[in-house]
Amino acid sequence: MIETISGALLIMIMRICDVSIGTIRTIMVVQGRKYLAGMTGFFEVLIWVFAIRFVMQHLDNIANLFGYAGGFGLGNIIGITIEQKIGLGFVQMNIISKYFTDKIAATLRKSKYGVTILPAEGGSGGISIIVIITPRKVQKKIIALIEKIDAEAFITVQHSLPYRGFMHGARK
Render pLDDT for 64-77 as a digit per residue (tens, 0 to 9).
Answer: 999 999 999 999 99
**Fold held by 90-171:** Alpha-Beta Plaits (3.30.70)
CB atoms within 10 A of CB 97: 21
Q: How confident is the model at residue 162 (pLDDT cuts 50, 70, 90)?
A: confident
Q: How confident is the model at residue 50 (pLDDT cuts 50, 70, 90)?
A: very high
Residue 117, classified by CB atoms within 10 Å of its CB into exposed (0-12), middle (13-18) or buried (19+), is: middle
Give 159's strand partners.
Answer: 91
Q: How confident is the model at residue 169 (pLDDT cuts 50, 70, 90)?
A: low
pTM of the model: 0.69
Integer CA distances (angstroms), 91 to 139, 142, 170, in order: 8, 11, 17
Instruction: Give the pLDDT of residue 171.
Output: 46
**Longest distance between any two alpha carbons in the chain, whole Å:** 72
Spell out the SS3 assignment of 113-132. Answer: CCCEEEEEEECCEEEEEEEE
Q: Where are the domains of the chain?
A: 2-86, 90-171
Tell me what the pLDDT averaged over the chain comes to. Answer: 91
Q: Which long-range contacts (CB under 8 A, 24 or more apart) does 59-64 make?
A: 61/4, 61/7, 61/8, 63/4, 63/5, 63/7, 63/8, 64/7, 64/8, 64/11
Which DSSP state fits 31?
T
Instruction: Give the pLDDT of residue 168.
Output: 55
On the question of pLDDT at 83 being above 50, the answer is: yes
